[in-house]
Structure 1
């Protein structure tokens, strides 16, 4: 991080540390940042930069490892993770040199993606916790960014897969609360991450046979997809809705409609994982129907 650019701008504008920090943080916090490179919370740093006409990204510009390049790389990894393309995600994350990433938001994005992937492929719990600890205990200590509830998602998934359901419940309840808050005013850049929270939380409540909560979350997800004109998550949401309908013994026509929609959206999004899972679910459903 180019702290000298920050200091030079402040001095060029003839703004004292006391004046710049007023209403944002203490003068001591600002002094530690300028003299020792101790970065305050992201929210504080953004406000300080804003008063100087800078952005946090301006302090992280580097010819060798540009913010724009890393952001594009991580965004593509995140898109692939939404599509459940785990092997390409695993390989792509290995190519990211996290030690060279200085931008706090990008570091959080990396650790979120790394931790969630490990949760989904049953990675070691210690490795999962290490990744999310970087967010919760260091990069977002004040828990002000979207990456805190995303870290809770990953921890909930991990404990759910370890069958430690009380711990999973603890985290998914936090995520559920965050979803309700974010749905009221979701930022344009965060709606896909909100969909990630919605899907995995709906999946968790489905596993716990709380179909009312699960279906409400699915409806929220479908409505969000519609309002934002995105389809990445629709195959998975429709698949989960079909699975819930089967468990609840809903009418056959309703179940077949949901299964057909899951397949249709999977094909539109080239999501072969959901297409295969839906075919298997339909086959199990038809066999069970014949036995009944």
Structure 2
């Protein structure tokens, strides 16, 4: 319960603790409540609120509004992450005080987002490890939520970008294990977007290790998931990876060009300018002969 509104209301009415609690409870009881150490009985709290001209529901509504606002901010940040707009995502993250987040789920979201984004932008490994270890060791010690797996993804990216591929493989294997056991029951769109993000970065990692069969398997599974769940958001990314894979495997020009066309089409549909830029750069490399195709 957020007692800030309660305290502000009491002070606005120029009521001391002693005066407010007179005939209702002891001053020690009120003091403990205002210090967030002990919530009194509902009867006492109702009487205190009534004396201030407010209701108990108002206190809970204030807290609910705060949680809702944080979740809206985190939704926007997560979308920026998926669009690879890291600059905007970091700006929005910096506006959130993690110490003020009370929900455990919201805390896990905050630390996974900051940790993964820091990894994807080649940030400080100590910062990455700290953020993600808070999920593993404090917030989800039994490792039962998707945020632990997203944390594994962040650790894998951190090690991969620091050229410690064996350690990176250890974490990407954990992500692969999760992807092989997705729940059978229908999940939310947000859940599938997170799963597709794991698919994309894991497939990309496998490609960097020349594990093209594993990468193609993941890409195919991701495209299938997009189709079955009617989620097109990650199709541009997956088609772009498929294009890169086809070039690396020296597949026919016609197939490469077809994949490029599909990538561009899905990028435009989803307004994914990042993939459009990546595709244009890839085309230029092919034209200059810096990449080879059959």
Taking the TM superposition and a 5 Å limit, the aligned residue runs for 1:1-292 are 62-63=62-63, 66-182=66-182, 184-185=184-185, 187-188=187-188, 189-288=190-289
The farther-off stretch of 239-248 and 223-232 is 223-232
2-structure distance, mates of 1:73, 1:61: 18
Note the aligned Cα RMSD (angstroms).
2.2
What is the CA distance between 1:64 and its match in structure 2?
A: 8.2
TM-score, with length taken from structure 1? 0.76
2-structure distance, mates of 1:277, 1:169: 25
Aligned residue-pair number: 238
Hey, what does 2:43 align to over in structure 1? none
2-structure distance, mates of 1:237, 1:124: 28
Specify every segment of 5 or more residues in structure 2 that has no aligned partner in the other structure, as ranges: 3-36, 39-58
Kept in 2: contact 1:86–1:117 (CA 8 A):
yes
Q: Residues 81-126 of structure 1, C-alpha deviation per residue, up to 9 Å, x if partnerless?
A: 1001111001000011211111000000000000011001111000
Q: 1:107 to 1:291 in 2, by over 3 A?
A: closer
Specify every segment of 5 or more residues in structure 1 that has no aligned partner in the other structure, as ranges: 3-35, 38-58
Q: Residues 121-154 of structure 1, C-alpha deviation per residue, up to 9 Å, x if partnerless?
A: 1110000001001100000000000001100000
Q: Larger RCO: Structure 1 or Structure 2 (Cα < 8 Å, ≥ 6 residues apart)?
A: 1
What is the CA distance between 1:184 and its match in structure 2?
A: 4.2
Hey, what does 1:30 align to over in structure 2? none
Structure 1 runs of 4+ aligned residues shifted over 6 Å read 289-292
Q: 1:285 to 1:61 in 2, by over 3 A?
A: farther
Kept in 1: contact 2:252–2:293 (CA 8 A):
no
